Amino acid sequence: MSKTRVGILALQGDYAKHAQMVRQLGGDPVLVRSPVELLKCPGLIIPGGESTTMVKLLHKHELWEPLLKFGQERPVFGTCAGLILLARKLLHDYFQPLGFIDVVVQRNAYGSQIDSFIDDIKVIVLGQEKIVEGVFIRAPKIVELGKGVEILAFHKKDVVMVKQNNVMASSFHPELTNDTFIHQYFLNEIESAQTIRK
Amino acid sequence: MKDAHDIKLKIGLAEMLKGGVIMDVTTPEQAKIAEDAGAVAVMALERIPADIRAFGGVARMSDPTVILAIKKTVTIPVMAKCRIGHFAEAQILEALGIDFIDESEVLTPADEEFHVDKWKFKVPFVCGCRELGEALRRIAEGAAMIRTKGEAGSGNIVEAVRHMRSVTGGIKRIQVLSDQELVTEGKKLGAPVEIIRKVKELGKLPVPNFSAGGIATPADASLMMQLGAESVFVGSGIFKSSDPAKRAKAIVSAATNYMDFDLIARVSEGLGEAMPGIEIKEIPETQRMADRGW
């Protein structure tokens, strides 16, 4: 079986950390900076970084429209800034996000860098519950949750990972931990989506 | 555990700033221009390095009014500078809720022997270096990001190149040393052997390595990224040029797509005048900022 190819949006941010994790799981990470590179990938990770910077570069590099189409068909996973980009709406409307997940997100909801933290979170996928390390860096918060949204993780009472159709997102950074659980789940999503398409 | 958490969060933020441009700004208006151009962070200052150079005298931490006004204007991370060894300025910046502190040679050093003990802070620090030993000493003190110094406010890339090549050359050298040779290498570099072992294992610094000091054009940004920088700081290069907004956007594009030369060629068109540069030899040795810090 050939390695599962995973696109990683590499305009800015910690894309190298995601690539490292995909490689560790036996996948084939492909850095995506153009529409041509995007369309070669069966799934895409949007990394952490600065969402305002990414939005500007997505428009500038003509990736916005192709990404809108991509997310309707193929698996996408966003972390932190990725969650912000995938949301339906942002509190204070800094910009219009891609809108794949019916949530309203507040940017920098916990404060400045000194309010960044690490704490246990409870992940619930495929009926399994697992406690993993949640790394929250100038993290966003989900402040409104739409009806069709599946909850994949909690930190205390806050929902910190969600999924709608083929698109999932977390407000924390699994790529900054040694736990490959969440990335493995996303790789499986890509593989099963590929099987269905075939 | 708490310390391990702290350094993970500090380096984590540095990771988020990779592949981007951090811009020096002195007013909320400039900060807005930087954010709109796609900067990943801004460095809040009273004066940019070129003006610090022209102004002379003792350069200190900026007035909190300036820093707070800038912090209020943008949503991207805000950095600010403290003097080398001036831990009280650092404590004040932490109290202001700054996201990253630059213990910077651009300001006049407060301590000619000791840098700030950066482990004591919850806020991450970036420190300058000219060669590998200096970088590793700063990491040993708790820096979560390294930037090669270059020569701030010069508009001349030559020192930035020299320092980046020196760091990456030093890392390559460690790769070929045997374990037996590492302690002596530590003695030569003036750096702890544990961190040298880590560098050998990783093939890179254990924290992100950015470039600063002299970047004035999209081509300069591409050059530094190709030489191994993971992001670039642009100080005087943007707001000392004739069209800051346009130049800022062009440098952001070049840092992201540093190997796409068609694109860099396109964004380099019609940027107007770059900042006037200075030949390094014309800067008296006592006024060279890169030589501050040890």
- pLDDT per residue as tens digits for the range A167-193: 999 999 999 999 999 999 999 999 999
Q: What percent of chain A has pLDDT over 70?
A: 99
Please check the confidence at residue B13 and state whether its pLDDT lies above 60.
yes
Of B8, B41, B100, the CB nearest to A176: B8
Backbone angles phi, psi at B244, to 5 degrees: -55, -45
Yes or no, beta carbons of A80 and B100 under 8 Å apart: no
pLDDT at residue B80 tops 90:
yes
If DSSP codes are grouped into helix, strand and coil, which group holds residue A22? helix
Q: What is the CATH number of domain A5-197?
A: 3.40.50.880
What is the Cα B206 distance to its own chain's centre? 16
Burial of B57 (0-12, 13-18, 19+ CB in 10 A): exposed
Q: In which band, very low, low, confident or very high, does the pLDDT at B2 lie, cut at 50, 70 and 90?
A: low
Residue pair B87/B116 in contact by the 8 Å Cβ criterion: yes
Mean of the per-residue pLDDT values of chain B: 95
Q: Is A41 noted as a catalytic residue in this protein? A: no
pLDDT given at position B117:
97
For chain B, percent of residues with pLDDT exceeding 70: 99
Strand partners, A142: A105
Give CA B48 to chain center in angstroms: 14
pTM of the model: 0.95
Distance CA B188, CA A152 (A): 51
Q: What SS3 class is residue A134?
A: strand
- pLDDT band per the 50, 70, 90 thresholds, residue A53: very high
Q: What is the pLDDT of residues B16-32, one digit of tens each?
A: 999 999 999 999 999 99
Tell me what the mean pLDDT of segment B56-66 comes to: 93
Catalytic annotation, pick one of A18, A41, A155, A175: A175
- The residue ranges of every structural domain in chain A are 5-197
Nearest in space to B14 (alpha carbons), one of B167, B106, B143? B143
Q: What would the 3-class secondary structure string for chain B be?
A: CHHHHHHHHHHHHHHHCCCCEEEEECCHHHHHHHHHHCCCEEEECCCCHHHHHHHCCCCCCCCHHHHHHHHHHCCCCEEEEEECCCHHHHHHHHHCCCCEEEEECCCCCCCCCCCCCHHHCCCCEEEEECCHHHHHHHHHCCCCEEEECCCCCCCCCHHHHHHHHHHHHHHHHHHHCCHHHHHHHHHHHCCCHHHHHHHHHHCCCCCCEEECCCCCCHHHHHHHHHCCCCCEEECHHHHCCCCHHHHHHHHHHHHHCCCCHHHHHHHCCCCCCCCCCCCHHHCCHHHCHHHCCC
User: Nearest CA of chain B to the CA of A7: how many Å?
Assistant: 17
Structure tokens at B75: 């949503």
Share of chain A above pLDDT 90, in %: 93
Q: Determine the straight-line distance between the first and last CA of chain A, rounded to whole angstroms.
A: 15
> Which residues, in sequence order, are bridge partners of residue A125?
A128
Sign of CA dihedral B75, A78, A20, A65: negative
pLDDT of residue A2 exceeding 90: no
Both tokens assigned to B281 = 């030899």
Instruction: Tell me which residue in A13, A60, A117 faces B16 most closely, judged by beta carbons.
Output: A13
The Cα B189–Cα A101 span in angstroms is 51
Structure-token pair, residue B154: 């010069």
How far away is chain A from the Cα of B9, in angstroms, using its nearest Cα? 7
Q: Is the pLDDT of residue A101 over 70?
A: yes
CA max distance for chain B: 55
Candidates A12, A17, A110, A115: best to mutate against B (most CBs of B within 10 A) is A12
Please name the member of B18, B98, B100 whose beta carbon is closest to the beta carbon of A16. Answer: B18
Q: What is the mean pLDDT of residues A29-38?
A: 96
* CA atoms in the 13 A half-sphere facing the CB of B110: 17
**pLDDT tens figures, A56-65:** 999 998 999 9
B81 is catalytic: yes
Query: Pick the residue with more confidence: B56 or A54?
Result: A54
CA distance A60 to B117: 42
B94/A17 Cβ within 8 A: no
Look at residue B229 and tell me whether its pLDDT is greater than 60: yes
Cβ-based neighbours of A13, under 8 Å, separated by 6 or more: A47, A48, A49, A50, A54, A81, B15, B16, B18, B19, B20
3-state secondary structure of A156: coil
Q: Interface of chain A against chain B, CB under 8 Å?
A: 10-17, 33, 48-50, 52-53, 56-57, 60-61, 80-81, 94, 107-108, 111-114, 116-118, 135, 137-138, 173, 176
Across the interface, which of A80, A112, A135 has its CB nearest the CB of B99?
A112
- Confidence check: pLDDT of B1 > 60: no
Inter-axis angle of helices A51-60 and B28-37, nearest 10: 50
Flag if B122 and A114 touch (Cβ within 8 Å). yes
Q: For residue A144, what are the β-bridge partners? A: A104
Q: Shortest CA distance to B195 belongs to which of B148, B135, B129?
A: B135
pLDDT of residue B122: 96
Residue type, A64: W
Question: Residue B12 pLDDT > 90, yes or no?
Answer: yes
pLDDT digits over B209-226, tens only? Answer: 999 999 999 999 999 999
Question: Cα separations (Å) of B129 from B117, B188, B279?
Answer: 16, 16, 21
Mutate to test the interface with A, among B125, B126, B145, B256 (most CBs of A within 10 A): B256
Average pLDDT over residues B112-118: 97
Catalytic, A175? Answer: yes
Query: Which of B15, B33, B42, B222 is best to mutate for the A interface (most A CBs within 10 A)?
Result: B15
pLDDT bin (cut points 50, 70, 90) of residue A49 is very high
Compute the residue count for chain B.
294
The whole-angstrom distance between A127's CA and the closest CA on chain B is: 30
Between the alpha carbon of residue B37 and those of residues A55, B33, B78, the distances in Å are 11, 6, 15
pLDDT band at A1 (very low <50, low <70, confident <90, very high): low
What are B133's two structure tokens?
Answer: 């030993």
For range B235-244, the mean pLDDT: 92
Give the minimum alpha-carbon distance from A195 to chain B in angstroms, rounded to a whole number. Answer: 34
pLDDT (average), residues B113-141 = 97
Query: Left, alpha or beta for A49 (phi > 0: left; psi -120 to 50: alpha)?
Result: left
